[in-house]
Amino acid sequence: MTRLGLALLLASLGTGAFAETRYLPWPEDGAAPRPYIFTQQHNVENRPDAEGRVQLIRKGYPLQVQLPGNPAIWSFRAEESENVAYRGRTMVYSPNRIAGTESLLVFDLELSPEVRDGDEGRITFTTDQLPSALERVVPGGVFVLRFTVIDPG
Amino acid sequence: MVLGAETLAVSRALAMPGEPLRTLPELRSENGRVRTQLIVQNARFRVGDRTLHMPAYRFEHMAEGSLPGPTLRVKPGDRVDWDLANLITPTGIPDGATPAQQAMFDQLDYTNVHVHGLQVSPGENHDNVYQVLRPFCAPERYTYDIPGPDTGRPQPSGMFWYHPHKHGSTSHQAWQGLSGAIIVEGEIDAVPEIRDLRERVIILNGLLVNPAGEVPRAAMVPNSGFSPFSPIPSQPTDMLLTMNGQLRPTIDIRPGELQRWRVLNAAPHRFFWLNLDDHDFYQIGQDGIPFASPRPVKRILMAPGNRAEFLVRGGDPGSYALHADIYEQGHPGGARPGWIIGSVEVGGAPRQDPMPTRLVAPPEMPDLPIANRREIRFKGEISGNDPAGDQDASGDGALVPVKFYLDGKVFALNRIDQKVLGGTVEEWTLINEDVFQHPFHIHVNPFQVVAINGQPTNDDTWWDVIALPSKGALTIRIYFRPDVSGKTVYHCHILPHEDNGMMANLFIYPPGTDMANPPPVPDTPMPSGSGPCTI
């Protein structure tokens, strides 16, 4: 059996992430926890090439979603999100990086305080003014990130 | 050395903030020769209050790796032989990655080595960036004959460097700090006012680490914030800007003392705009090529890959911050933030070291007609909206997180993008269609900038890396030395750009070639095999 074949077999035997990896605690060395940052490239909604992508999030770390905008405005969809709490928005000057956008919209979020190891969640943002430069990576102007909470500690 | 064993050693480096700047280990040529192994092996390093786990370089005689790598000191005319040994084991694996997903990124542990700025052959087993060495395979030989006086155009005396150049993994390994200085000693080292100065070899790194102290083993996308890249799947990342592997070390100097600093920006992405409070810099060389006389400057901008060599005179007693000033380099989210990277402590008995007024005669551009003029266009796409392939690629294929083009194309191993003739002078106009200030780098031969946006510069500085103006153009003049021919590359030295396409092939034909009908260039063999070797 080839190496790739073996790898695929092992992957198929598992039930997602938990079958394959033990999660070692990260050291608590005094550094402030940095956020998990998600950009438009992390979107999985309506993206066939993102199928099977697993995003695990450790408890205790902040979350941030950064999406190109201006004039497009992205909105957090609480009713289509799960196990996350919205904390605020910043608009950062970022012209001439991505066609049709002048800024980055930076959204701060955090896991809901009651989440436990193994809980699943979802983050959803939408826009009605999707720039054409994002029409394939965020089809329909719907950004979704699905995740599973882990708590190695 | 026992292949297959991973020895994990905690560096002896003094790596806490405020500790004295570390002197990097050195190996010096003897009787015109260096013969060693250059070993890349995982190690653990204390940096600030964190422990990092990443590959590090060491020479054969060293018991443990060094972050950054040890310094090599040579002279024009020397021959360097080293066998590169790859003992890298995977780090930075995302939580939940299946073996198949991990295998997708096996190539991040493949490596080779490039001697940046040395005017040596790019051929097989020389400065050949097409070689690929997988972990735990047999070491590969690299030999460099550094041009001596007998060539009529010796290697200039100054600071050069070595680093991995495996296309697709250069940025990952640069974020791991894999880099080392090469000091070519020569005429400038005999200048009386310089000869006896205290010298500092300083390597600036940008280490992109997750909370485990490892560089994420994943595709990376740019983002706003202090840590400028995020992996897919995401992991929290931090950016550590270090000097000789240390956070904010101190450099001692006496009032009135002149010191000679040789500084390398080995970070794969971050520009360093150096600024020392209440002190000027007296620059004596750029990218390893000395000036005719010192040039006083307040700040020095270093794109990734640049070297600056300068004198610093200690001022009044006290402590002074050394800054990487805030700089807008075109990254998403605006300027890269300012950062204090170290400090200078002035104290002790005063001195009054004389400042040199004359240095050496720099190399001259040969007085030859311009044999050819070319245009090269730089363009990046960071939306994540495009399928794989060149700029005009279309279809419903998998999207690529980022893409970077030269002349609308991503790198292809066996497409020869430019054919030039050794012994000629050419002018290339580098047109930047982006706000990203792509630093242009070409292997083997340095160049001079003759115009910016068509306006003459009247500047005889030699470079081997130069940042392009945002939405502007530089015209450079290159002399292709006649005694070095073969296939090599030019590329953007923001290494995540290079890894994602912004590199192209150059073939230098030997003098006498009929360029109207040049012989075909044989294909470079595709690397065979995958994953680590088993021994």
ipTM of this complex: 0.93
B20 touches chain A (CB under 8 A): no
Residue B235 to residue A36, Cβ atoms within 8 A: yes
Query: Which chain A residues are closer than 8 Å to B101 by Cβ?
Result: 11
Give, in degrees to the nearest 5, the angle at Cα B46 between B5 and B214. 65
Quickly list DSSP for A66-134: EEEESSS--EE-GGG-BSEEEEEEEEEE-TTSSTT--EEEEEEEEE-TT--TT-EEEEEEE-SS--GGG
Rounded-to-integer distance, Cα B276 and Cα A109, Å = 38
- Rg, chain B, Cα only: 22
Boundary residue ending a domain (B137, B164, B189)? B189
List CB contacts (< 8 A) between B333 and chain A.
66, 92-94, 104, 106
Distance from CA of B93 to the nearest CA of A (A): 10
> Pairing mode, if any, of strands A142-150 and B50-59?
unpaired
Residue type, B252: D
CB-CB contact of A72 with A104 (8 Å)? no
**Co-location of B124 and B157 in the same domain:** yes
B249/B302 same-domain check: yes
Average pLDDT per 10 consecutive residues for chain B, totaling 535 residues: 34 58 98 98 94 97 97 98 97 90 91 98 97 97 98 98 98 98 98 98 98 96 95 95 97 98 98 98 98 98 98 98 97 94 98 98 98 98 95 89 98 98 98 98 98 97 98 98 98 98 98 97 90 81
Joined together, the tokens standing for residue B292 give: 């005719």
Indicate whether A143 belongs to any domain.
yes
* Beta-carbon separation of A40 and B471 below 8 A: no
- Do both B327 and B456 map to the same domain? no
Interchain proximity A56–B95, CB inside 8 Å:
yes
Locate the chain A residue with the closest alpha carbon to B209: A34
Are residue B155 and residue B222 in the same domain, yes or no? no
Whether residue B196 contacts residue B147, with contact meaning beta carbons closer than 8 Å, is answered with: no
Domain that holds residue A67: 36-150
Residue A126 lies in a domain: yes
Q: Do B99 and A47 touch (CB under 8 A)?
A: no
CA pair distance B331, A122, nearest whole angstrom:
28
Among the partner residues B332, B386, B435, nearest to A104 by beta-carbon distance: B332
DSSP single-letter state for residue B510: P
Instruction: Please report whether residue B308 resides in a domain.
Output: yes
Confidence of residue A87 (pLDDT cuts 50, 70, 90): very high
- Cβ atoms < 10 Å from Cβ of B370: 11
Contacts of B234 in chain A (CB under 8 A): 36-38, 42, 55
Sign of torsion over alpha carbons A3, A9, A10, A15: positive
- The span from the CA of B311 to the CA of B227, in Å, is 31
Distance CA A127, CA B352 (A): 66
Q: Are B359 and B195 in contact (CB under 8 A)?
A: no
Residue B330 is part of a domain; what is its CATH number?
A: 2.60.40.420
Q: Does B51 touch chain A (CB under 8 A)?
A: yes
Q: Indicate the number of domains in chain B.
A: 3
Residues found in chain A: 153
Distance between CA B462 and CA B446 in Å, rounded?
Answer: 6
Cβ of B531 under 8 Å from any chain A Cβ? yes
Hey, is B346 helix, strand or coil? Answer: strand
Measured in residues, chain B has a length of: 535
Tell if the CB–CB gap between B99 and A95 is shorter than 8 Å: no
- Nearest chain B residue to A106 by CA distance is B224
Q: How does pLDDT run across A33-74, given as a tens digit for each residue?
A: 899 999 999 999 988 777 777 799 999 999 999 999 999 999
The CA distance from B68 to B177, in Å, is: 6
pLDDT of residue A43: 96
In this complex, do B236 and A11 lie within 8 Å of one another by their Cβ atoms? no
Mutate to test the interface with A, among B383, B402, B534 (most CBs of A within 10 A): B383
Report d(CA B299, CA B320) in Å as an integer.
Answer: 14
Residue B395, classed as helix, strand or coil, is coil
Residue A30: inside a domain: no
Say how many CB pairs under 8 Å bridge A and B. Answer: 157
B132 and B230 share one domain? no
Can you tell me the distance from the alpha carbon of B495 to that of B305, in angstroms, rounded to the nearest whole number? Answer: 10
> Residue A13: in which H helix or E strand, if any?
helix A3-13
Question: Which residues in chain B are closer than 8 Å to A49, comparing Cβ atoms?
Answer: 397-399
Q: Is B209 exposed, middle or buried (0-12, 13-18, 19+ CB in 10 A)?
A: buried
Query: Under a CB-based contact definition with an 8 Å cutoff, are residues A76 and A126 in contact?
Result: no
Q: Which residues of A touch B236 (CB under 8 A)?
A: 33-37, 61
CA distances B97 to A26, A27, A45, B94, B232, Å, are 17, 20, 20, 6, 11
Q: The dihedral of CA B59, B61, B65, B67: what is its sign?
A: negative
Among the partner-chain residues A30, A53, A64, the one whose CB lies closest to the CB of B49 is A30
Query: Shortest CB distance from A34 goes to which of B49, B233, B237?
Result: B237
- CATH number assigned to the domain comprising residue A100: 2.60.40.2020
Q: Is B103 on the interface with A (CB under 8 A)?
A: yes
Task: For residues B212 and B299, state if they share a domain.
Answer: yes
> Which one of A55, A95, A134 has the shortest CB-CB distance to B385?
A134
**Are B408 and B317 contained in the same domain?**
no
With bands split at pLDDT 50, 70 and 90, how would you rate the model's confidence at A27?
Answer: confident
One domain for residues B179 and B254 = no
Please check whether residue B88 is in contact with residue B41, taking contact to mean a CB–CB distance below 8 angstroms.
yes
Tell me if residue A4 falls in helix, strand or coil: helix
Partners of residue A6 in chain B, C-beta under 8 Å: 99
The whole-angstrom separation of Cα B130 and Cα B113 is: 10
- The answer to whether B97 faces chain A, any CB pair under 8 Å, is yes
On whether residue A7 sits in a domain, the answer given is no
Give me the residues of B, 326-385, that contact A with CB < 8 A.
330, 332-334, 382-385
Specify the residue for token string 């306006």. Answer: B455
Measured CA to CA, the distance from residue B103 to residue A132 in angstroms comes to: 34
Cβ(B87)–Cβ(B133) below 8 Å: no
Which tokens belong to B78?
Answer: 């020397």
CA distance B71 to A68: 43
- Helix (H) or strand (E) segment spanning residue B147: none
Query: Residue A15 corresponds to which tokens in the numbers above?
Result: 């039930």
Is A87 part of any domain? yes
Residue B56 bridge partners (DSSP): B41
Which residues of chain B lie closer than 8 angstroms to A37, CB-CB? Answer: 223, 225, 230, 234, 236-237
Domain count, chain A: 1
Rounded (5°) CA angle A128-A133-A134: 55
The b-or-e profile of B174-196 (16+ CB within 10 A means b, else e) is bbbbbbbbbbbbbebbeeebbee
Element (H, E) at B292: strand B289-297
Type of residue at B50: R
Query: Are B325 and B204 found together in one domain?
Result: yes
Nearest-neighbour CA in chain B from A101: distance (Å): 10
Region class of A136: left (phi > 0), else alpha (psi between -120 and 50), else beta:
alpha
Specify whether B405 is located in the same domain as B261: no
pLDDT of residue B226: 86
Q: Is residue B51 part of a domain?
A: yes
A29 in a structural domain: no
| Dist. CA B128–CA B114, nearest whole Å | 7
Say yes or no for a CB contact (<8 Å) between A137 and B398.
no
Chain A contact probe: residue of B49, B98, B391 with most A CBs at under 10 A? B98
Chain B residue with Cα closest to A35 = B236
Residue B83 belongs to what domain range? 26-189
Question: B64 CB contacts (<8 Å, ≥6 apart)?
Answer: B7, B9, B11, B12, B43, B58
State how far residue A79 is from chain B, nearest Cα, in angstroms.
24
- How distant is the alpha carbon of residue B123 from its chain centre? 20
Q: Which of B408, B483, B401, B406 has its CA nearest to residue B444?
A: B483
C-alpha distances in angstroms, B482 versus B119, B270, B511? 11, 34, 6
Inside any domain, residue B12: no
- Chain B residues with CB under 8 Å of A34 CB are 211, 227, 236-238
Residues B161, B217, single domain; the answer is no
Question: What's the pLDDT at B25?
Answer: 98
Q: What pLDDT, on a 0 to 100 scale, did the predictor assign at position A2?
A: 34
B chain contacts of residue A38, beta-carbon cutoff 8 Å:
230, 234
Amino acid at B314: G
A99 in a structural domain: yes
What is the rounded CA–CA span in Å between residue B365 and residue B83?
35
Interface contact B233-A97, CB threshold 8 A: no
**Contact between chains at A56 and B96 (C-beta distance less than 8 A):** yes
Q: Which stretch of A18-22, A118-122, B335-339 has the lowest confidence by average pLDDT? A: A18-22
Q: Which residue of A has its CA nearest to B398?
A: A49
Q: Is residue B497 classed exposed, middle or buried when 0-12, 13-18 and 19+ CB atoms within 10 A define those classes?
A: buried
Measured between CA atoms, how close is A49 to chain B, in angstroms? Answer: 5
By Cβ distance, the residue of B94, B96, B435 closest to A96 is B435
A125 is a domain residue:
yes
Chain B residues in contact with A151 (beta carbon < 8 A): none
Which residues face B46 on adjacent strands?
A: B51
What pLDDT was estimated at residue B17?
A: 63
Nearest residue to B250 via CA among B25, B48, B22, B13:
B22
Do B331 and B445 belong together in one domain? no
For A153, counting Cβ atoms within 10 Å of its Cβ (0-12 exposed, 13-18 middle, 19+ buried), the class is exposed
CB contact under 8 A, A39 and B230: yes
Half-sphere exposure of B81 (CA within 13 A, CB side): 5
Kindly state whether residue B354 falls inside one of the protein's structural domains.
Answer: no
